[in-house]
A and B are shown apart, each in its own frame.
Chain A
Amino acid sequence: MNVVKNTPEELEILIEIPRFIVLFMTAPIALAGGLFTLALLLGGEFVNALTTGAVIAGLVFGGRYFLTQRTRLWLDAREGTVRILRTTMFEEKRQQLPLEHLDSASVAVSRRHERSGSGSSGSTSRPTSTLHLLFTNTRPATEVPLTGWAVSGGGAGMLANAINDWLRAHHERAEGGD
Chain B
Amino acid sequence: MNITGLSPERLEFEHRPMNWIVGLGIVCAALLLFLLKALIDGALPGVAIASLMLLAIAWVWLTQIFLTVRLSADRGTGILRITTISLFGETFRERPLDDLTGAEVDTRYRESDSSAEPTLVLRFGSERHPIQLFKPDPADLLQAAEAIKGWLNQHQPGTEPAGEALE
Chain A neighbourhood of B23, CB < 8 A: 62, 66
Q: By the criterion CB–CB under 8 Å, are B107 and A138 in contact?
A: yes
**Does any Cβ of B come within 8 Å of A135's Cβ?**
yes
Contact residue among B26, B37, B107 (Cβ-Cβ distance under 8 Å from A140): B107
Q: By the criterion CB–CB under 8 Å, are A54 and B29 in contact?
A: yes
Residues A40-71 near B (CB distance < 8 A): 47-48, 50-51, 54-55, 58-59, 61-62, 65-66
Q: By the criterion CB–CB under 8 Å, are B26 and A98 in contact?
A: no
Residues B1-17 near A (CB distance < 8 A): 2
Residues B130-160 near A (CB distance < 8 A): 137-143, 145-146
Secondary structure type dominating chain B contacts: helix
Given the interface pairs A97-B143, A138-B105, the reply to whether A61 lies near B26 with Cβ below 8 Å is yes
CA distance A72 to B167 in the complex (A): 53
CA distance A88 to B19 in the complex (A): 9
Given the interface pairs A58-B29, A62-B26, A138-B104, the reply to whether A144 lies near B40 with Cβ below 8 Å is no
Q: By the criterion CB–CB under 8 Å, are A142 and B41 in contact?
A: no
**Does any Cβ of A come within 8 Å of B94's Cβ?**
no
Contact-residue size bin, chain B (C-beta under 8 Å from the other chain): 20 to 34
CA distance A51 to B26 in the complex (A): 13
Residues A92-109 near B (CB distance < 8 A): 93, 95-98, 101
A positions within 8 Å CB-CB of B: 47-48, 50-51, 54-55, 58-59, 61-62, 65-66, 84, 88, 90-91, 93, 95-98, 101, 133, 135, 137-138, 140, 142-145, 148
Q: 14 A-B contacts, Cβ less than 8 Å apart? A: A50-B33, A54-B29, A54-B30, A54-B33, A62-B22, A84-B139, A90-B18, A91-B18, A95-B139, A138-B104, A142-B138, A143-B138, A144-B138, A145-B138
Per CB-CB distance, the 8 closest pairs between chain A and chain B, nearest first, are A144-B139, A51-B37, A62-B26, A95-B139, A144-B138, A58-B26, A138-B105, A51-B33
